[in-house]
Structure 1
Amino acid sequence: MQVDLHGGFGEKGRTSVALRSARSHILLDVGIKVGASGQEYYPVIGREVGTIEALFLSHAHEDHVGALSWLLAEGYCGPIFMTEETREEAPATLAHYADPAQLELFPFPSDRVELFKPGDTLTVGDLTIRTGRSGHVVGGVWFAVGNGEETIVYSADILPDSKVFVMDPLPSCDLLILDASYGADPVSGAARADEIAAWVTEHPKGCLLPTPLFGRSLELLAVMPRRFAIHASMRQALMIQIAAREALYPKAVERLKQQLAVAIDWHDGDPLPDCPLLADDGMGTAGPSATLIPHADASGYPVLLTGHLPASSPGDLLYRSGRASWIRMPTHPTLSGNLDVWQKAGEPQTLGHSCSPFMLEELGHHITSLRTDVRTGQSLTLLEGAIS
């Protein structure tokens, strides 16, 4: 099989991978790169758009789905496979991250969506596409693509050791395209959660925690103290996620239901609360946090950032100026998680996505079959378990 690296290799953002067999050509994810502009904002696909037979979306975060309207504008006219949760969340992501003119001409194409459930197996031509829960977000999945001779696993975004979301084990494979977002970070998710809880305790007069609406919001909700607030616009989305029981651990469901029941609704224009406040999104580029972050900064209200900060995003600028704190709440694998995933997959040839070259080099010291030299725009061939 041929592997086309259209985005997310040697960089964070615009994640997109195409797989080609003798008779079929599919695309896995089509994201944007926050903080970039022009062509660097979109995947590197070009004229090949016309030969893609099917698009598979792993979940609705912007770096995996944000270029959907762009892809349609470039001429893609095939089916779009996704889970029901991704279908429900993707339009809001496009509203924030798609080019407005493109979105007006090419809105979310509901009539071309083909739904599947995590765990389903799909077929396109001579390719079989298995799916499984990712542990990253409700409705999020990984893909295992086989042509009868080789199997390629594209993890998309995963979290093997989440205490909230269930992740199905990745199958053994010939090539693993691994979520390397954190490189070789050795600190576990549990340890980071304890750090965040301690930071919140140290700011008893209130603080702002920007967070993505889907995924990390539940991880943070689970570690909030008894008294905390959420932006009122988040409540419905949080309720829907908590109701997706098949994606969550039973103990987490009960904890999250209790937490949401006592959360205080905060509305735009209200005084900043004297307790932790969760508001989306996590970078300050969209949603309520786009106005809340500068408001908190001007008011001397402490801000804790907990995820990826694209260069020059509002969150990044505030942190680099020393006016915000940052503690990662893992929603991707740390070193122990990725080692476990790689070993259980049979220690195959491995590529890392969503990671800078420097961090990829560090991870390569631990995952010995990891290719650290590949970059967006390259095409590789998998033949008899070897990539070239």
Structure 2
Amino acid sequence: MVPASCRILPAMAISLQFLGAAGGVTGSQFLLTVGDRRVLVDCGLFQGGMDEIARNRMAFSYDPDGVHAVLLTHAHNDHIGRLPALVRAGYAGPVFATDATTDLAQIVLLDSAKLQAHAAARWARHHPEAAQAGESEAAVNEIEMATIAERAERPPHLRTETHAPLFDEKDVRRTIGLVKPVAYSTVSPIVPGVEATFHDAGHILGSAIIELRARDPDGAEMTIVFSGDLGRPNTPILRDPTPLTTADVVVVESTYGDREHSPGSQAVDELMGVVNDVAKEGGVLLIPAFAIGRTQEVIWVLDDLVRRGRVPRLPLFVDSPMACEANDVYLRHPDAYDAETAALLASGDSTLVYPGQECTPSVAASKAIIGSPRP
């Protein structure tokens, strides 16, 4: 477990602070200071913990206006979900990300703003007196602890009295307007003394391993690599993560670092068996999947199984407006595909579109699935 504001670099005018994803797996946020320049890598939402609402509403531990650049590894909420809140708080500098990450981030953040607005409105309906009294004003308190070590062992207790959204759609559009697109394997100047190279991370479309090269005012140099979330080798659609061989410091995700995963081929065989069993019994197969990344992989695998004659062609409903929008983004970025998917696309076969698949862009369309005829 890494203390939240631990400096791990040698004695020079370069420091690195862990402001999220330390002692947990969400809220990714790292602040690199080089001389008088500050660069933020990711600005993610805390998710899943008992204090997630309060933690997301705590003031940033730095002056947003004092940050000079933000870099994004990929478009999942635990890596980008607080960025519009940072912009609302005063950040107006550049945001560096790949084109695909930008396209997906717009979908994710607009959806988040919509959900927050709905949640706030629902709370106000159920608590009209508190809402009229102005209880939406932010008030997040933290019980003080004596040392950083104590914080690392026992997270602080947080209390929030706010039910207002962190940001709205206008904040999201302002955020997207700050993006400076970057290409893979291209050295990009970020601020004086810092340059970055984005490498393919193979996690979701547009995901990147960020290699930062920093030089302090005295001329001392350091290479720091942020892995972001890493994809597994030999997964569908995307290229494998780019291997890097040199760095002074590596900040690496380790969510599943203590687990051994079964081979991908085993998971495909298990899915094939389940689909065939459901088809034989005339049943319905429900596959819960993350809207971005996992849904597209499932579609790819099912299409591949149908094409090879290993499962019958059954009706497929993508029952998620966000997943449907993400599918469109995936189709717009064939430059990110691995060799197998690119070759299939060149032959006229789009493996990201299952034959006859239907998307549900509305609640009514989702409800209509119940009455759809069985094969």
So what's the TM-score if we normalise by structure 1? 0.64
Structure 1: distance between partners of 2:373 and 2:223? 53
Q: Is the 8 A contact 1:55 1:79 kept in 2?
A: yes
Partner of 2:287: 209
- Matched to 2:22, the amino acid is F
Name the aligned partner's letter for residue 260 of structure 1: V
Does 2:244 align with 1:175? Answer: no
- Corresponding residue number in structure 2 for 1:118: 184
The letter of the residue matching 2:317 is I
In structure 2, the CA distance between the partners of 1:121 and 1:112, relative to structure 1 (3 Å rule), is same
1:71 to 86, 102, 117: 86
The alpha carbon displacement at 1:263 in A equals 3.9
Maintained 8 Å contact 1:6/1:45: no
Q: What SS does the aligned partner of 2:326 have?
A: helix
Residue of structure 1 in register with 2:225 after alignment: 153
Conserved? CA contact 1:129–1:144, under 8 Å: yes
Q: Give the equivalent residue in structure 1 for 2:259.
A: 185
Shift of 1:32: 0.7
Greater percentage in strand: 1
- Pick the aligned partner of 2:269 from 194, 217, 224: 194
Deviation larger for 123-132 or 212-221:
212-221
**Aligned residue identity for 2:294:** R
**In structure 2, distance between residues paired with 1:20 and 1:221:** 42
Determine the structure 2 residue equivalent to 1:130: 197
3-state SS, counterpart of residue 252 of structure 2: strand
Match of 1:142 in 2: 209
- For residue 7 of structure 1, report the CA deviation from its aligned partner: 0.8
CA distance in 2, matches of 1:158, 1:43: 28
Structure 2 vs 1, CA of residues 211 and 275 (structure 1 numbering), >3 Å: closer, same or farther? farther
> 1:192 Cα deviation (Å)?
3.3
Q: Which residue of 1 aligns with 2:55?
A: 40
Choose from 91, 103, 106 the match for 2:168: 103
| C-alpha RMSD of matched pairs (Å) | 2.7
1:7/1:14 contact within 8 Å kept: yes
Deviations 1:209-265 (A, max 9, x none): 122232222221222242241327445532441442221113124287146151421
Q: What letter is aligned with 1:159?
A: G
Whether the aligned pair in 2 keeps the contact of 1:163 and 1:249 (CA below 8 Å) is: no
Change (3 A) 1:130 1:271: closer
Name the CA distance, whole Å, in 2 between partners of 1:127 and 1:200: 51
Q: Does the 8 Å CA contact 2:104/2:326 hold for their aligned counterparts?
A: no
Candidates 101, 108, 118, aligned match of 1:86: 101
In structure 1, distance between residues paired with 2:183 and 2:262: 29
Matched letter for residue 50 of structure 1: D
The aligned counterpart of 1:61 is 76
**Contact 1:162 1:189 (C-alpha < 8 Å) held by counterparts:** no
How has the CA–CA distance of structure 1 residues 43 and 4 changed in structure 2, closer, same or farther, with 3 Å as cutoff?
farther
In structure 2, the residue matched to 1:230 is: 317
Task: Tell me the SS of whatever aligns to 1:209.
Answer: coil
Structure 2: gaps of 5 or more residues: 1-13, 118-164, 216-220, 307-312, 360-364
Contact conserved, 1:16 with 1:31, CA < 8 A, in 2? yes
Q: What percentage of residue pairs aligned between the two structures are identical?
A: 21
Larger relative contact order (C-alpha < 8 A, sep ≥ 6)? 1
| Pair 1:244–1:51, CA change in 2 (3 A) | same
Picking from 358, 362, 365, the partner of 1:265 is 358
1:286-297 equivalent positions in 2, closer than 5 A: none
Aligned counterpart, 1:330: none
2:143 aligns with none
Relative to structure 1, the CA distance from residue 240 to residue 70 in structure 2 (aligned partners, 3 Å threshold; closer, same or farther) is closer
The question of whether the paired residues in 2 share the 8 Å contact of 1:17 and 1:29 is answered with yes
Aligned residues: 276
Residue 94 of structure 1 aligns to a residue whose secondary structure is: helix
